Structure 1
Amino acid sequence: MAHYKLPFTPLNIAVLTVSDTRDENTDSSGAYFVEALTKFEHHLAEKQIVKDDVYQIRAVVSKWIASDTVQAILVTGGTGFTARDTTPEAVAPLFDKSVEGFGELFRYASAKEIGTSTIQSRALAGVANGTVIFCVPGSPGACKTAWENIIASQLDASHKPCNFVPHLKNATISCNTRG
């Protein structure tokens, strides 16, 4: 099998912060994702903050899934165990396919930093209408762990042996991981 390196393909990525207390001035987690994705040379499609409410979360994520341009969504917040943490309940029903390994891999990477408290994270990911959605806890540290250990490489067309880019809407490359 011939191996060749695919070029980096910038993606259109939306960022959603789920919080009852943060605003644009105090949203350090959303700001981290914006800084990380633009530093990586992706495009910020949109950024929004919503209250931790199933229907507000679902409305924004559904709009982005239906968009012709948004290829990836990064959601921060609402993945814990308090009564107000509803991101998994809001987003999981929208998935066409769940990315089962994301939560497991996130908790593995996170355990190195916060120990057994990582079991309280309900981080999840899935794909809907050619859009990959990653949901992570609301701390900047969790966003950094997810981005640096998992998300950045999975949104990079040149990452081998495989990544999500060929599976996204408007993808200009194909998946060639099997010979």
Structure 2
Amino acid sequence: MSRIDETMEFIPVRIAVLTVSDTRSLAEDRSGDTLAGRIAAAGHILAARAMLPDERGEIADQLRAWCGDPAIDVVITTGGTGLTGRDVTVEAHRDVYEKEMDAFGTVFTIVSLKKIGTSAVQSRACAGVAQGTYLFALPGSPGACKDAWDEILAPQLDYRHRPCNFVEIFPRLDEHQRRK
């Protein structure tokens, strides 16, 4: 069973949050606020925050820019993971991924199933890695952001989490690019 090893030192992670919405502004961004609050409360650093419309190219460009920024370790997007015609965040993420974390969507669905029942099938939450940066695409509801953070991301972004976590393998995410 997973646990936090209190004998180890906490390592803060630098996280960027991107909200994807055609209808909200930053002032009305409850999902982004939920993530920003949880990031700070956990002791991590909110490295950047932005909002973009549901435009695949713009989303992918922002993801690539943040992946290329050495001051950002993780990118979390919220919004655009549903089934409607304007929901293109998942496609934008997949345009950027070098590797996809298939199990993230599965685990998110399990967490959601306990909270919202079979409505969980309507989410296409996903995750991957690009340029040594983790990318997570979450639904646009504050509840979904809370559940994903509390149940998956908070433990996995804590270096003290055992038996393993995302932080301890940061140095190896881009090792294929360093080989000669």
With normalisation by structure 1, the TM-score equals: 0.90
Q: What is the CA distance between 1:102 and its match in structure 2?
A: 0.5
1:6-45 aligned within 5 A: 6-45=8-47
Q: Could you say what secondary structure the match of 2:152 adopts?
A: helix
- CA deviation string 1:51-87 (max 9, x = no partner): 0110110111110001111000111000000000001
Cross-structure match for 2:164: 162
3-state SS in 1 of match to 2:16: strand
Q: Give the structure with the higher percent helix.
A: 2
For 1:155 and 1:130, the matched residues in 2 are separated by 14
Asked if 1 retains the 8 angstrom alpha-carbon contact of 2:6 and 2:160, the reply is no
CA 1:132–1:73 in structure 2 vs 1: closer, same or farther (change >3 Å)?
Answer: same
CA 30–129 in structure 1, closer or farther in 2 if over 3 Å, else same: same
Q: 1:148 aligns with which of 133, 147, 150?
A: 150
Structure 2 unaligned residues grouped into runs of 5+: 174-180
Q: 1:64 aligns with which of 53, 63, 66?
A: 66
Deviation at 1:170, TM superposition (A): 9.9
- The runs of 5 or more residues in structure 1 that have no matched partner are 172-179
Kept in 2, the 8 Å contact 1:154–1:164? The answer is: yes
Letter in 2 for 1:32: T
Letter in 2 for 1:91: H
TM-score (norm 2): 0.90
Runs of 4+ displaced beyond 6 Å: none
**Equivalents in 2 of 1:170, 1:34: separation in Å?**
27
Kept in 2, the 8 Å contact 1:129–1:169? The answer is no
Contact 2:90-2:126 within 8 A present in 1 as well: yes
Higher RCO, 1 vs 2 (CA within 8 Å, ≥6 residues apart):
2
Distance 1:45 1:77, change over 3 A: same
Q: Does structure 1 residue 48 correspond to structure 2 residue 53? A: no
2:177 aligned partner: none
Count of aligned residue pairs for this structure pair: 169
Does 2:162 align with 1:138? no
